[in-house]
Amino acid sequence: MPKMITEQNLRALIDLLVKEGSRVVGPKAAGTMTLYEPLAAGEELVLTELPRRSAKEAFFPLCETILTYAKGEEGVQVNDIDPARFPETVLVAVRPCDAAAPGILDAVFSWDYDDQFYQERRKKTAIIGLACTKADDACFCTAVGLSPAETQGSDLFLTPLSGGGFRVEAVTEKGEKLLARYSQLFGEAGSAQPLPPAEPGGEKLELARIKAWLDANFESPLWQEIADRCAGCGACAFLCPACHCFDINDEGTEAKGARRKSWDACGFAKFTNHASGHNPRDAQNKRYRNRLMHKFKYYDDKFGKHLCTGCGRCVRACPVGIDIKAVLDEINSK
């Protein structure tokens, strides 16, 4: 029999997990926005809004210290960060466009270098996905092969029911375990009907066709056309669930400091600036081209996946109205 959970019990589950010492991260009110943030109690969970930033930061934080150093009498002491200390985490009420992202990013974080920071967090995180029942005009998950009811990437998946509460589906073993462990909070779904899924607009994209065009158009006037408008900020990359570039900086004083890893963005003028002063992507057209190429060609060439889940965050956030869906539509029609 399919299971269900009431909203009250979902919040109770969060309370219980927090009490047991897990880190629970979910959509939470943050000023004028909703953000995925650690929840102190179930009542903090916001179920009605797509968080402004994606859930990737649960695995790949905006900024993290990867080592610290201090100069003492016996020379310089370097302290590594031990990923084994990362807490068990439950990511709750994650939208399908966010839940799908870690499955895409696993490939790059375990490719030629095993990123222990990412992998340890990934191993210790369970994802409770939540189907979307409303979309806005920036949403386009269906155009890139996902859907508002997509369970891929979730361990446990919740679908809102018309009479309140959620239908619960265990997608992975991790999900089964959660379901079994907290069985007292779940009931039988009975005959309650799920609410109809959201219907994001926009034409479906033929990603193979887009890739074929990208294969042949490293040089195209399109890149300059977009670059003429692009302001060169990192809003698109920083809100994106799939962008994963980072920079490493040593910060502090001669006496002590830290090596920190922080998000970076290919739109920044200095993103590929070499120590010599040479910059292979010395103009915005080359930088925007890289953004598109990386998402829909290079990553596909390397890992057979594309770096876009159609969440629409870059479309909403771009201060100069660059709309990746419109760009893809244009390429699709070429």
Residues that bind another protein (CB under 8 A): 30-33, 35, 52-53, 62-63, 137-138, 224, 227-229, 231-235, 237-239, 247, 249, 251, 260, 262-263, 265, 268, 270, 283-285, 315, 317, 319-323, 325-326, 329
Which residue lies nearer to another protein by CB, 53 or 167? 53
The H-or-E segment that residue 316 falls in is helix 313-317
Q: Kindly state the smallest distance separating residue 90's Cβ from another protein, in Å.
A: 23
- Asked whether 148 and 158 are in contact (CB, 8 A), the reply is no
Q: Kindly state the smallest distance separating residue 332's Cβ from another protein, in Å.
A: 13
Which residue lies nearer to another protein by CB, 65 or 116? 65
Q: Kindly state the smallest distance separating residue 225's Cβ from another protein, in Å.
A: 9
The separation between CA 189 and the C-alpha centre of its own chain, rounded to angstroms, equals 30
Residue closest to 271 by CA, chosen among 297, 239, 307, 234? 234
- The span from the CA of 88 to the CA of 115, in Å, is 18
221 burial class (0-12, 13-18, 19+ CB within 10 angstroms)? exposed
Tell me how far CA of residue 300 lies from CA of 26, 305, 333, in angstroms.
30, 5, 20
Which residue lies nearer to another protein by CB, 11 or 325? 325
Q: Kindly state the smallest distance separating residue 39's Cβ from another protein, in Å.
A: 17
Q: Kindly state the smallest distance separating residue 231's Cβ from another protein, in Å.
A: 4
The separation between CA 298 and the C-alpha centre of its own chain, rounded to angstroms, equals 19
Q: Please give the sequence-ordered ranges of beta strands (E in DSSP) within the chain, or none if there are none.
A: 3-5, 23-30, 33-38, 63-72, 75-80, 89-94, 125-130, 156-160, 166-170, 187-188, 246-252, 256-263
Which residue lies nearer to another protein by CB, 167 or 259? 259
- Asked whether 214 and 292 are in contact (CB, 8 A), the reply is yes
Which residue lies nearer to another protein by CB, 167 or 289? 289
Q: Kindly state the smallest distance separating residue 56's Cβ from another protein, in Å.
A: 12
Which residue lies nearer to another protein by CB, 31 or 72? 31
